[in-house]
Chains A and B, each alone.
Chain A
Amino acid sequence: MGITRDANNTASPTMAPIVGVALESFTARDATRVQSMIDLSKRWLRYKWVVCSQDACDMLIKKTTNEDGEGDISLLFKGRLEDFRYREKVEHPLRMQVLLDLFKLIEDFLELEEPSAPVAQKPKKGFLRQKKVENPLFKALEEHFSNGFDASASWVMMRNGEPWFGISPQAQKAYINTLPSGQTPDVGDDDTYEILPHSKVQKIVISDHSMPIPEWWWHLGVFLSRFDIAPSIQGDQYRYLMTLWPDFGRLAHHANHVRVAAHIAIGPCNAKTLADLTGAKPRHVSSLINALWLMQALETEVTEDSEPEPTGSLQSAVPSIFNKIRARFKL
């Protein structure tokens, strides 16, 4: 089967196999979102899976492109699996055009009537996460933490054999050897990461680009949220408890980070519940969780499915005065 378009450019579904990528948003109507999708598209060829927001979890877009520029797409939308084939416009090699075509395709699909074909099986729980490629940076960090993290040791994270950043508890500094403070590079599938004791790294040069260690961990945690929550603590069965408030006065943060932090300061919750209770976007939840994990300010517990989570709408539980204050100060 292939894809056909009628005079109104409306697409008809086809069948195709896939490799997966999940987009942060599935609409290209908003120019700002298009730009973010362009940025994401630069990673498409390197990752098989890109972080998806809670919104996009309902829609999983899988794509691959062959040598002829033909692509196969499978859309898993609200439990229905539909396959498409598209052709990359060779006269428009720019990724943006490919991306816009893809989004147009999705929008057309959304406008399609209910197919008469049998509904595909609902994906199993955790389906979206099962095939995610292991992020090498996460893996290096997890190995380091699982081997007994020594908060007093100075060490260096090597990236592709070169020093990337180092931690010096004595100086209470995280120093970034190659990048201006506040910047982190892209993380590729082929990149290698290794953590070494500072004494074993010959070429390290402590640059002026440094920041306090908690600030660095926060920054890295937020960066890692684009790859979702750290794999070793990810899943609906994990509930998170914050053991120490980060100093948000020194950390670039979103107001929702504070709201989420307040909940897990009081009692453990899983990521979905936190998003539901606070109205925070999943990326805010995941960035806080990752950062707290790196800052050693997080405890996790694994729960049975039957254990109840805090429930209820935040709006109905709190007095209106809180909402009035938030509205007044735009919090």
Chain B
Amino acid sequence: MINDFSKIECHKIVFAGAMGAGKTTAIRSISDVEPVSTEVENFEGGGGGKLLTTVALDFGKVKLDEHTQLSLYGTPGQERFKFMWPIVSRDALGLVFLINNNGEEPLKLLDSYLKHFRVGIDKSAAVVGITCSDLTNKHTVEDYQNIIHGHELKMPVFTIDARRRDDVLLLVNALLSINEAKRIQQPTEEDED
């Protein structure tokens, strides 16, 4: 994707996760700049009243060279904002699902992500990062893998600390590796052009 104004080629990785899952922290650990949070007011009409909900999008970036940039987007993971997911994740190099193991219904949350991001998962790559595992062992990696298998997918699930740069880079490495492997083993017409 080329930005005609700046001639900067932009690519993106999307981090999805509920509040407290570690999106901002993860983006901060690899971004060249301090992540910027944007607020979008969500208006819901119905019954004559308006509901105002504020949701934050995180944005970070990594300069790869003079003409290439990697954008890091953090998209809210609550299901009521799922209308944003296909918009934010369009043409992404990969998707990172950050799940707070100590949060509310983490397995159900992952199940929802897999369902609604399925197009993006099939088209590029996805990886699951489980955060806050040091606070609880409520669910194991195996539990998350069972959810993934239920969707007939095979996806890495890594226990990570979003504060640790190496852990976040593990997620990035997995996305790149899966993309590379797909292009070699399952090339599409687009890849061969």
Contact = CB atoms under 8 A, between A and B. Distances in A.
Contact of B177 (A244, A259, A324, A329): A259
B172 A324 contact: no
A328 B187 CA distance: 26
Interface stretch (B17-25, B48-56, B81-89, B156-164): B156-164
Contact of A324 (B68, B173, B184, B185): B68
Contacts of B170: 248-249, 258
B77 to A, nearest CB: 19
Contacts of A265: 154, 156, 178, 181
Interface in A275-331: 277, 310, 312, 314, 317-318, 321-322, 324-329, 331
B63 to A, nearest CB: 8
B174 interface: yes
Nearest to B154: A265
A266 B181 contact: yes
A245 interface: yes
B169 A321 contact: no
A259 B186 contact: no
B11 A266 contact: no
A200 interface: no
Contacts of B62: 325, 328
B176 interface: yes
B187 to A, nearest CB: 7
B177 A261 contact: yes
A206 interface: no
Interface in A14-63: none
A255 interface: yes
B30 interface: yes
Interface residues of B, number: 39
Contacts of B181: 259, 262-263, 265-266
A125 interface: no
B135 interface: no
A247 interface: yes
Contacts of B102: none
Contacts of B9: 321
A263 B30 CA distance: 25
A322 B158 CA distance: 21
A258 B157 contact: no
A250 interface: yes
Contact of A262 (B129, B180, B187): B180
B68 A245 contact: no
Interface in B137-193: 141, 145, 154-160, 167, 169-170, 172-174, 176-187, 191
A317 B154 CA distance: 22
Nearest to B191: A317
B156 A248 contact: yes
Contacts of A258: 170, 173-174, 177
Interface in A152-205: none
A314 B184 contact: yes
Interface in B35-78: 62, 64-65, 68, 70
A318 B158 contact: no
Nearest to A262: B177
Question: Which of A258, A328, A331 neighbours the largest number of chain B CB atoms within 10 Å of its CB?
Answer: A258
A-B complex: 7 closest residue pairs judged by Cβ atoms: A262-B177, A249-B158, A249-B159, A245-B156, A262-B181, A324-B64, A263-B181
Interface of A: 243-245, 247-250, 255, 258-259, 261-263, 265-267, 277, 310, 312, 314, 317-318, 321-322, 324-329, 331
30 contacts: A247-B141, A248-B170, A249-B129, A249-B167, A258-B170, A262-B178, A262-B180, A263-B185, A266-B178, A266-B182, A267-B186, A277-B184, A310-B185, A314-B180, A314-B184, A317-B183, A317-B191, A318-B179, A318-B180, A321-B9, A321-B68, A322-B180, A325-B64, A327-B64, A328-B62, A328-B64, A329-B30, A329-B169, A331-B173, A331-B176
Given A265-B156, A314-B184, 16 more contacts: A245-B155, A247-B141, A249-B159, A249-B160, A258-B177, A261-B177, A263-B181, A265-B181, A266-B185, A267-B186, A321-B68, A322-B179, A325-B70, A325-B176, A329-B169, A329-B172
